[in-house]
């Protein structure tokens, strides 16, 4: 397949989506990110809760508000995010946000111009069985409710709403998220480096599957489809496909934005829960578990001392793979792969994430580098008892 399709891929590290998704996670109550949520809540000023509720009474509204940046450059910094929101004209802002809920342009126009009421439009959307109005808290519609009030402000007071949005984002950034971002950014850059390496040798459709993107790229049909096979876009309509590491997009949200020239850009914030662990601790919690398991440096050397496992580690460092995929890559049995995976796991070198295809395995670069640093002092340490372990094949006859 021609390599030109890989040229559609771009990678970046930006808070463009991340700050909105973090706010969504902050307001949700679930098992994900409980520790981060608790620690962050303690950092926020007393007035933050009221300000955030006024802008986004339901957590999913934060993800919707990220669409307000559809006209921005692909990888804005936080100051550029605020600048973009402040510079938008009212109608551009309204259309960017409202079209994420009400997909028909004429419906959005009717809302903005006052030809139809918010209640009427929500009722029409709910009849079409579109679940987003329910997730946002718009259905069943309550005119006096907080969610209806927020959307009414977007329609009737867009300038004031944008001002409140910017102030809330700035409050969240200055009091809590700026420190998180300082920890996240270098880790995300390492993820991008690995993806850049994978891009150089991997067809677009293979890369998309390995990266667990929520759509299917077909390099033969030149289409982008949903998981159910519905064709969403054609390659000829794509201008760019942006892949962005994310610590908060556990819902696998993504964006498709068409600019004034008709060019289509796709944005995929790729969720990696290990990033958030790093942000919480300023050193990965998973790494702490790794070091505890691999206190004996021999585990690290044994894991990488075998030529097959070393080759596997190099493959997994470039792109996540399942055990089934590794077995095909190396033309060995599943049992053999399971053995090698177990050795790498015992050494603490693997990151594992459940996907629709199975458990995706990847080499944890941070763990590898930390274990390498620990190995030297452990070998040369003079204050630890010297224990000599012999191979099971030494000192006796093999039967």
**79: Cα separation from own chain's centroid:** 21
Position 79 pLDDT exceeds 90 = yes
Condensed to tens digits (0 to 9), the pLDDT of residues 124-159 reads 887 775 678 888 889 888 999 999 999 999 999 999
Report in angstroms the alpha-carbon separations of 77 from 9, 14, 74, 372: 20, 6, 10, 34
Q: In this structure, are 70 and 184 located in the same domain?
A: yes
Q: In this structure, are 269 and 291 located in the same domain?
A: no
Phi, psi (5° rounding) for residue 396? -170, 170
Residue ranges in 266-364 assigned as alpha helix (H)? 273-281, 285-293, 297-305, 307-318, 323-330, 334-346
Condensed to tens digits (0 to 9), the pLDDT of residues 169-199 reads 999 999 999 999 999 999 999 889 888 888 8
pTM of the shown model:
0.71
Condensed to tens digits (0 to 9), the pLDDT of residues 265-275 reads 999 999 987 88
Q: In the prediction, which pLDDT does 350 show?
A: 86
Q: In the prediction, which pLDDT does 211 show?
A: 82
Is residue 396 in a domain? no
Position 394 pLDDT exceeds 60 = no
Position 318 pLDDT exceeds 60 = yes
Is residue 392 in a domain? no
Q: In this structure, are 9 and 89 located in the same domain?
A: yes
Last residue of a domain, one of 243, 274, 305: 274
Q: In this structure, are 29 and 177 located in the same domain?
A: yes
The conformation of residue 280, written as its DSSP 8-state character, comes to H
Distance between CA atoms of residues 59 and 198, nearest Å:
34
Q: In this structure, are 247 and 288 located in the same domain?
A: no
Question: Which one is predicted more confidently, 293 or 197?
Answer: 197
Q: In this structure, are 270 and 342 located in the same domain?
A: no
**Residue 134: how many other CB atoms lie within 10 Å:** 15
Is residue 19 in a domain? yes
pLDDT grade, residue 278 (50/70/90)? very low
pLDDT grade, residue 305 (50/70/90)? confident
Domain region containing 373:
284-380
Q: In this structure, are 37 and 98 located in the same domain?
A: yes
Number of independent structural domains in the chain: 2
CATH number, domain containing residue 319:
1.10.10.10
Q: In this structure, are 261 and 294 located in the same domain?
A: no
């Amino acid at each position: 397949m021609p390599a030109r399709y890989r040229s559609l891929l771009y990678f970046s590290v930006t808070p463009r989506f991340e700050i909105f998704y973090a706010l969504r996670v902050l307001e949700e109550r679930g098992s994900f990110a409980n520790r981060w949520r608790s620690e962050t809540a303690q950092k926020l000023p007393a007035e933050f809760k009221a300000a955030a509720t006024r802008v986004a009474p339901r957590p999913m509204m934060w993800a919707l508000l990220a669409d307000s940046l559809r006209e921005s450059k692909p990888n804005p910094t936080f100051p550029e995010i605020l600048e973009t929101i402040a510079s938008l004209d009212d109608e551009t802002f309204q259309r960017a946000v409202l079209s994420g809920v009400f997909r028909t342009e004429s419906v959005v126009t009717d809302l903005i111009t006052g030809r139809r009421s918010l209640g009427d439009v929500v009722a029409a959307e709910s009849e079409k069985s579109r679940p987003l109005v329910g997730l946002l808290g718009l259905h069943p519609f309550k005119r006096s409710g907080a969610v209806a009030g927020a959307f009414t402000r977007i329609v009737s007071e867009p300038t004031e709403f944008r001002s409140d949005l910017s102030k809330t984002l700035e409050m969240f950034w200055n009091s809590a998220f700026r420190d998180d971002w300082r920890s996240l950014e270098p880790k995300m850059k390492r993820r991008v480096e690995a993806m850049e390496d994978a891009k150089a040798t991997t067809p677009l459709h293979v890369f998309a599957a390995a990266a667990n993107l929520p759509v299917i790229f077909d390099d033969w049909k030149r289409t982008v489809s949903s998981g159910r096979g519905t064709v969403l876009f054609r390659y000829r309509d794509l201008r760019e496909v942006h892949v962005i590491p994310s610590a908060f997009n556990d819902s696998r949200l993504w964006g498709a934005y068409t600019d004034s020239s008709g060019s289509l850009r796709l944005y995929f914030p790729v969720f990696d829960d290990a990033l958030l662990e790093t942000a919480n601790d300023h050193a990965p919690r998973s790494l702490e578990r790794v070091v505890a398991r691999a206190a004996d440096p021999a585990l690290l050397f044994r894991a990488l001392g075998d030529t097959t496992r070393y080759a596997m580690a190099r493959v997994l460092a470039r792109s996540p793979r399942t055990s089934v995929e590794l077995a095909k890559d190396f033309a060995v049995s599943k049992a053999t792969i399971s053995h090698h995976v177990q050795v790498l796991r015992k050494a603490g070198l693997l990151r594992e994430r459940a996907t629709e295809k199975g458990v995706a395995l990847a080499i944890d670069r941070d763990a590898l580098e930390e274990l390498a640093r620990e190995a030297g002092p452990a070998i040369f340490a003079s204050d630890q008892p010297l224990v000599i372990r012999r191979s099971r094949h030494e000192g006796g006859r093999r039967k």
